[in-house]
Amino acid sequence: MNILWIKFNTINGGFQKRGIQSLVLIMKCIFCSGETHVTDKRESPEGTRRRRECLKCKKRFTTYEKAEKKAIIVVKKDGRREPFSREKIKIGIMKACEKRPIPLKNIENALDEIEEKLYKKGKEVKSEVIGKMIMHKLKKLDDIAYIRFASVYMNFKDIKDFKLALRQV
């Protein structure tokens, strides 16, 4: 059996899908470089397994496509570092959006965009930068969610700070 391993960087689910699609389009026969088509597709622990057949020489081979994530390190205010976790920021956003009329899809989209931006930024990202990105997104989604998040994130000391944030809405 002929097996070809493909590795590529991915940012998130959506990007990964796009990546695979473009790979499918450019996947050429490993024997004659002719065009191939997929005869079978299956998820496996090794990645997405695709059985391919060359349209020209009719030879068959299998590809395994695996997403490879770059590690993003979050630098906290006190200098501590921890791996970036989409789940963690999702929890924060969900808390702020509790009981607000915001479709989950919009939250996921905002998360996608934040994640994509972070992966473009590089290896280390300050937690403040992430906080500001979240605030920016929430501002567009829902005023109340924005204020809630800002009050926790910015650690309002008094009503003056709060009013200042309100004015920015």
27 part of the interface to Zn ion, by CB under 5 A: no
Q: Look-up: residue for tokens 């920021």?
A: 89
Residue 52 vs 137, nearer CB to Zn ion: 52
Beta bridge partners of 55: none
Structural tokens at position 23: 């790979």
Min dist CB 61 to Zn ion, Å, is 9
54 binds Zn ion (CB under 5 A): yes
Choose between 3 and 73: whose C-beta lies nearer to Zn ion. 3
Question: Is the Cβ of residue 38 or residue 91 nearer to Zn ion in the bound state?
Answer: 38
From 2-10, 47-55, 67-75, 86-94, span contacting Zn ion (CB under 5 A): 47-55
- 31 belongs to the binding site for Zn ion (CB under 5 A): yes
Least gap, CB of 57 to Zn ion (angstroms): 3
* Long-range contacts from 9-13, C-beta under 8 angstroms, 24+ separation: 9/67, 9/68, 9/69, 9/70, 10/67, 10/68, 10/69, 11/115, 11/116, 11/119, 12/86, 12/111, 12/112, 12/115, 12/116, 13/112
CB of 107 to Zn ion, least distance (A): 45
Task: Pick the piece of the chain touching Zn ion (CB under 5 A) from 39-47, 48-56, 112-120, 152-160.
Answer: 48-56
Report how far apart, in Å, the C-alpha atoms of 165 and of each of 119, 126, 134, 152, 156 are. Answer: 28, 21, 15, 12, 9
Chain positions contacting Zn ion, by CB under 5 A: 29, 31-32, 34, 54, 56-57
